[in-house]
Amino acid sequence: MTTCPAGVSWPRLVDYWAGDAGADEAEWLEEHFFACEACTRRLERIRELGAAIVGWARRQMRGGMSPELLEQLRADRVAVREYSLPAGGSVSCTARPDDDVVVLRLAADLSGVRRADVEFRSSIAEVERAEDVPIVGEREVIFAERADFLRPLPAHRTAVRLLAVDEGGERILASYTLNHTPYT
């Protein structure tokens, strides 16, 4: 890809495309990319990536989530099943045939936590760890899994730990228990 002669950076183009550039900046960038092939190509790439992310979200989104992403999934008629757990809580859970996504809302005191990991330990799989999950309002972590992944699993128990991670190490913020049974 040719280089932009004005040195316009990738972050500036991303901000512009995402609607975060100020009015003057947006005007300047528009005047610029109408005359710059390198920036036109990079904007085309950003647009493609954005469209691909939308497709991925509708088809495959899993992992750390936020309430607004859940809202968007529901607006797109994705069937979301939610389980909310207080710190120390347990729940009997399943994935029904008409579910698309199963969501855990794990409540905990996340004040001052800069990085949170979620660890899953069950009898039927290796330990899985989701690192640096989004923290919602310092009060919960939301984690999603695809229902078509969960549906074929046999009955089992999963111990979930929410961990705060920093330079000094890690500490457990809260633990939860999931008792999964196949839908009947």
54 lies in the binding site for another protein (CB under 8 A): yes
148 lies in the binding site for another protein (CB under 8 A): no
User: How far are the Cα atoms of 12, 20, 103, 150 from residue 42, in angstroms, in the given order?
Assistant: 11, 17, 35, 39
Residues constituting the chain: 184
22 lies in the binding site for another protein (CB under 8 A): no
- The residue from 25, 82, 128, 138 that contacts another protein (CB under 8 A) is 138
Cβ at position 18, least distance to another protein in Å: 5
CA dist., res. 64 & res. 86, Å (int): 17
120 lies in the binding site for another protein (CB under 8 A): no
State which residue, 15 or 170, has the beta carbon closest to another protein: 15
User: How far are the Cα atoms of 113, 156, 163 from residue 136, in angstroms, in the given order?
Assistant: 11, 28, 15
46 lies in the binding site for another protein (CB under 8 A): yes
Residue 153 CB contacts under 8 Å (≥ 6 apart), including other chains: 124, 180, 182
57 lies in the binding site for another protein (CB under 8 A): yes
State which residue, 10 or 183, has the beta carbon closest to another protein: 10
Cβ at position 156, least distance to another protein in Å: 23
11 lies in the binding site for another protein (CB under 8 A): yes
Cβ at position 183, least distance to another protein in Å: 25
Secondary structure of 134-153 in HEC code, one letter for each residue: CCECCCEEEEEEEHHHHCCC
Alpha helices in the chain (DSSP H): 10-17, 23-33, 37-60, 67-75, 147-150
90 lies in the binding site for another protein (CB under 8 A): no
State which residue, 6 or 155, has the beta carbon closest to another protein: 6
For the chain, how long is the longest CA-to-CA vector? 63
Site residues, another protein (CB under 8 A): 10-11, 14-20, 30-31, 33-35, 37, 40, 43-61, 63-69, 71-72, 130-138
